[in-house]
A = this chain, B = another copy of it.
Amino acid sequence: MKHKIKNLHTAVKDYIGMLVALTALLAIFGLSTKNFFTFTTFRTIANQIPAITIMAVGMTFVLIIAGIDLSVGSVLALSGAVLGVCIVNFKLPLPLAIIACMGVGLICGLINGFIVIKWKLPSFIVTLGMLEVARGAAYSVTGSRTMYIGPAVEVITETAALGLSLPFIIAVVIVIAGQFILARTVFGRYIIAIGTNEEAVRLSGIEPGPLKLWVFIICGVLASVAAVMHTARLSSANPNEGLGMELQAIAAVVIGGTSLMGGRGSVVSTFFGALIIAVLGAGLAQMGAQEPTKRIITGCVIVAAVILDTYRHRLSSRKIT
């Protein structure tokens, strides 16, 4: 019982920085726009976050092993393109098309991971290469054209339970599963260990290679799951989608307090990070802010959220002593 309470207490403390930031944003937007607190606004936000959240979950894992994956935006475009081609050109049924799409994500992640491990290269540069390659492949798969898919994928967004759309539910499930894997499984322990001190892991008789490979594969696959959500939302596959989305995903993860230096992170926090970014986007749009203003505010909020987070850390570390 005492344990439970303590857990709850820790949990709140862990997320307090982000909750404060989120509440502040909501309050500001609530006050400065007429119709912010409406069901539609929240549905809009709920519609927007699945793709970025799912992608950010994968990114969390990669950042925890002190890697980075810059290719997720392009992989999203490529796997979305493959999904489109499978449905439109090859007339595959949706489930098969989705499998093909996730296969693409898997292969991209596998290649990233393989090169990183085999030649011991920084993942930054390897995935930067993949960013270009996957984008090029997406252009060539679609012939650089947007491909309209229509109802065949729209079913995904239209399916709903308890008033929540399927993508949202999937995103939440992935977040929970991700957090569980990170916090409770052997795999989770090992990747945190790799991020903290890879050499020590190796010297403890555990090969970091295969584990890291898995992390890149997970990230690739999750990027392609995000692609399914994204494509469903747009009813079409567009080879230009996901441009710069890698930076958004990283921002979400880092706002969530995951360290870029590896060894520390939380998937739930990442979810909050994605939420902050989505609320910010929706709110600024509702306010009718001009592009320069939007950019400047977005930049400031990203940094402010991270600064806030450092105070949370100081707070909690003072509590412990």
Residues of A within 8 A of B (CB): 70, 115, 119-122, 124-126, 128-137, 139-140, 144, 247, 250-251, 254-255, 259-261, 290-300, 302-303, 306-307, 310
Contacts and interface: CB of A to CB of B under 8 A. Distances in A.
A129 B292 contact: no
Contacts of A131: 247, 299
A149 to B, nearest CB: 21
Q: Which 3 A-B pairs have the closest CB atoms?
A: A136-B295, A132-B299, A133-B299
A293 B126 CA distance: 18
Contact of A303 (B126, B135, B259): B126
A121 B135 CA distance: 31
Contacts of A144: 291-292
Given A133-B300, A296-B133, A122 B291 contact: no
Q: How many copies does the complex hold?
A: 2
Nearest to A136: B295
A139 to B, nearest CB: 4
A115 B303 contact: yes
A55 to B, nearest CB: 16
14 contacts: A122-B259, A125-B260, A125-B303, A129-B299, A129-B300, A131-B247, A132-B299, A133-B296, A136-B294, A136-B298, A137-B295, A137-B296, A140-B292, A140-B293
Contacts of A120: 310
Contact of A124 (B130, B250, B290): B250
Contact of A247 (B121, B128, B260): B128
A40 B115 CA distance: 37
B293 A124 contact: no
A299 B255 CA distance: 29
A306 B261 CA distance: 22
Nearest to A135: B295
A310 B306 CA distance: 35
Given A251-B128, A294-B136, A261 B122 contact: yes
